[in-house]
Amino acid sequence: MSYQQTEEQVVVRGGLGDRAKFITKTYNHLLGAIFAFVLISVGLYESGASVAIYNFFAQLGTFGMIAMMLAFVGTGWFAAHFADRATSKGVQYLNLVIFTAAYAVFFSPLLLLAATKAPGVIQSAAVVTLVGAGILTAIVFYTRKDFSFLRGIVMWGFGLGLLAILGGAIFGFHLGTWFSVAMIGISGAAILYDTSNILHHYPEDRYVGAAISLFSSIAMMFIYVLRLFLASEE
């Protein structure tokens, strides 16, 4: 028993060893994706493209909302899927660029609404999201636990969330505060899952795909934190 406890302490407190280089590259690419997302979002807003995107989807009504949501989810899934499996660094980086730009485009209507309706709320939501993601990351790296068991929960959670959004768009019912809280919780579970995979499971040549997956989870948390903040302004 005492030997097993000592071994567990070594796992928890020991260094990352050869894995450290992969983890550093992953988080460097994550920071690069976040920085690029901010730059593209600001560019869309300053150029007036956000207004055009908002008006385009608004004119399509319910279909536009569903199309935007499916494009948003689909782009993230395909980018992460192909970046995870691509052996060519060029293909991985292409996916990272496409994914980041697509997220900025699909976020732009909500960001425009937030900037117009409640100035300062975007910054507040970003701070809360980054602090939350930082705490979840610290939990994984301190405990060194494998959270891969969360995969099924995350998939079911996002699947149910997708059905709820589709149902709300088609039948016109309002997804209130508790929906945003639930999706923030699911996004948090996704961050735990992705961070655990980065620590334990990702092949060390797939740091771009790892960054895409983690960025997707953080972006999802941000969107629902922002939605929650906007609801409080009503």
Write out the DSSP string of the chain: -HHHHHHHHHHHHS--TTHHHHHHHHHHHHHHHHHHHHHHHHHHHHHTHHHHHHHHHHHTHHHHHHHHHHHHHHHHHHHHHHHHH---HHHHHHHHHHHHHHHHHHHHHHHHHHHHHSTTHHHHHHHHHHHHHHHHHHHHHHH----GGGHHHHHHHHHHHHHHHHHHHHH-----HHHHHHHHHHHHHHHHHHHHHHHHTS-TT-HHHHHHHHHHHHHHHHHHHHHHHHHHH-
Q: What is the pLDDT of residue 39?
A: 95
Does the pLDDT value for residue 162 go beyond 70? yes
Query: Mean pLDDT across the stretch 26-52?
Result: 93
Burial 94-131 (b: 16+ CB within 10 A, else e): bbbebbbebbbbbbbbbbbebeeebeebbeebeebbee
In a domain, residue 166? The reply is yes
Domain of residue 42 covers 19-233
pLDDT band at 166 (very low <50, low <70, confident <90, very high): confident
Q: What is the pLDDT of residue 138?
A: 96
In a domain, residue 4? The reply is no
In a domain, residue 228? The reply is yes
Q: What is the pLDDT of residue 10?
A: 35
Q: In this structure, what token pair is assigned to residue 65?
A: 């909302």
pLDDT band at 179 (very low <50, low <70, confident <90, very high): confident
More confident residue, 187 or 176: 187
In a domain, residue 6? The reply is no
Q: In this structure, what token pair is assigned to residue 7?
A: 């071994």
| Count: domains in the chain | 1
In a domain, residue 137? The reply is yes
Q: What is the pLDDT of residue 230?
A: 87
Count other Cβ atoms within 10 Å, centred on residue 20: 10
Q: Which residues make Cβ contacts (< 8 Å) with residue 110, sequence separation at least 6?
A: 223, 226, 227
In a domain, residue 52? The reply is yes
Q: What is the pLDDT of residue 168?
A: 73
In a domain, residue 123? The reply is yes
What's the pTM value of the predicted model, to 2 decimals? 0.85
Amino acid at 37: F
Query: Mean pLDDT across the stretch 159-188?
Result: 82
Please answer whether residues 41 and 107 qualify as being in contact, where contact means their C-beta atoms are separated by less than 8 angstroms: yes
Please, what is the average pLDDT of the chain?
82
Does the pLDDT value for residue 61 go beyond 80? no
In a domain, residue 132? The reply is yes
